[in-house]
Chain A
């Protein structure tokens, strides 16, 4: 790796901490971002000569803050206003010595958490939350974010600007949070990181490669959270879940971009390194005996990756885990997922019984009709299966989803001469 590439990597790694602290000084996202940009320019000039500083984030915060303060002062002089440092609020009187003490991650903790929390402000719709986090925290360019969301650069620029505007006019608490507030923020941020991951993961069509970076950014954010909140079992669970899911990415589509179901996937192509790390994190989390939705979902993912062959999967345990998840976090989608396990343990008709009541709430959900169609198919109820699959077809979001349903429908036509399977 050459020197510039090394600096680029170091700047990326320091970004959330540095922007988090600069946001605390300036209480303004744009100003914090500008200050960070200035500091990066300084780093590109200074680091190759003097070597990397011991604490890159601390260096960037100090340099960025000074550069931005100079800018603010200069602008004021140009506008011929009386000198008034009120525009720059926060603890701008921090000395360099104090900054040196910020070497410890613990000191960055609340800054990074606040920055992430600002990005998932409850007034922002989830698509804006994700876009803002990818742009501000991860440092993806507007062009990269636009590509990942499959929208034009101009549309994404507008979305991010709108999100920043909303955040600026919203009330963002800057005092150090107490334990309860910290917990609430952490939950909101974890949910946002999970959304970022799903945005990348649910892209099952031919556009998957451009969205894979979203999964990687989500994992980076989850690791960052875990470094800062190292004793939170749900953060361990989230990180484990993302690693275990991401480990299967390469096996989810075949060479033609068609969906490969879990039971048909080539398990040799799953990433063993990610699986090992995910399992280790889950193991660590479970010791706390404080279960939560991410730990349970990670435990389910772990049962899948632990099975050497699809038929070795412990479906009874998966059914139990989904039942626990249903109690903790009732949702028709969770019940639908449970139905897949129930079908394996107690048969298709038990599963069908479980999902029938979900119909009104999942009337617009592709996977509901996909699962329903597959269950009806297993029961040999061809006409009903055809109707359900037809509805799934209409709700497919990607070409790969549509193709997957089409192949099931084709099989139905092919089988129609044969007697129904038992």
Chain B
């Protein structure tokens, strides 16, 4: 089974660590990450930038298909702040800039209306070494 582990903490508090404190913590985590990588258990790991760097695309529509009467998608600054929707998954995209990322979000939103995509720049990225069987298959 593949698990996604989602990290939560107060960014104001984490952001107030000194560079030395932050570096020291990242080093401690690196030890664990390296072990998990050797064991083939670790997939992609990302550390995101502050939510202040985020924009959110509120997707058009609500149903399974877009209707002509649906309001268009809108982009707002800041993180996704509603609580009535839940985090259902994530993409990692390599784009030249925010506009390209937004274009992809719009394209995905055309096929999968409703909800929102929060687009947040990634601060650190490790591709990982997990090989969970064939692509798209979930091993049991």
Is B105 at the interface (CB under 8 A from chain A)?
A: no
Contact of B121 among A223, A227, A277 (CB under 8 A): A277
Instruction: Report the nearest B residue to A227, measured CB to CB.
Output: B52
With contacts A239-B52, A284-B53 taken as known, whether A1 is within 8 angstroms of B21 at the C-beta atoms is yes
Is B34 at the interface (CB under 8 A from chain A)?
A: no
The answer on a CB contact under 8 Å between B77 and A231 is yes
B88 contacts across to A, CB distance below 8 A: none
A10–B99 CA distance with the chains assembled, in angstroms: 35
The answer on a CB contact under 8 Å between A13 and B10 is yes
A1 contacts across to B, CB distance below 8 A: 17, 21
A281–B51 CA distance with the chains assembled, in angstroms: 11
Most-contacted residue by chain B among A13, A276, A280, A283 (CB, 10 A):
A280
Within 8 A of B (CB), among A218-247: 220, 223, 226-227, 230-231, 236, 239
B12 contacts across to A, CB distance below 8 A: 13, 227
With contacts A13-B10, A13-B13, A231-B77 taken as known, whether A276 is within 8 angstroms of B49 at the C-beta atoms is yes
Q: B47-75 interface mask toward A, CB cutoff 8 Å, 1 = contact, 0 = none?
A: 00111110100000000000000000001
A284–B98 CA distance with the chains assembled, in angstroms: 7
With contacts A12-B16, A13-B12 taken as known, whether A226 is within 8 angstroms of B52 at the C-beta atoms is yes
The answer on a CB contact under 8 Å between A280 and B49 is yes
Instruction: Report the nearest B residue to A10, measured CB to CB.
Output: B13
A223 contacts across to B, CB distance below 8 A: 15, 50, 52
Most-contacted residue by chain A among B13, B51, B77, B123 (CB, 10 A):
B77
B120 to chain A, nearest CB (A): 9
B64 to chain A, nearest CB (A): 30
A13 contacts across to B, CB distance below 8 A: 10, 12-13, 16
A89 to chain B, nearest CB (A): 31
The answer on a CB contact under 8 Å between B53 and A281 is yes
A273–B97 CA distance with the chains assembled, in angstroms: 17
Q: A1-36 interface mask toward B, CB cutoff 8 Å, 1 = contact, 0 = none?
A: 100001001101100000000000000000000000
Is A411 at the interface (CB under 8 A from chain B)?
A: no
The answer on a CB contact under 8 Å between B55 and A284 is yes
The answer on a CB contact under 8 Å between A277 and B76 is no
The answer on a CB contact under 8 Å between A230 and B49 is no
A223–B52 CA distance with the chains assembled, in angstroms: 7
A19 to chain B, nearest CB (A): 15
Within 8 A of B (CB), among A275-290: 276-277, 280-281, 283-284, 287
Interface residues of A (CB under 8 A from B): 1, 6, 9-10, 12-13, 220, 223, 226-227, 230-231, 236, 239, 273, 276-277, 280-281, 283-284, 287
Sample (7) of A-B pairs whose CB atoms are under 8 Å apart = A1-B17, A12-B16, A223-B50, A227-B52, A273-B123, A276-B123, A277-B49
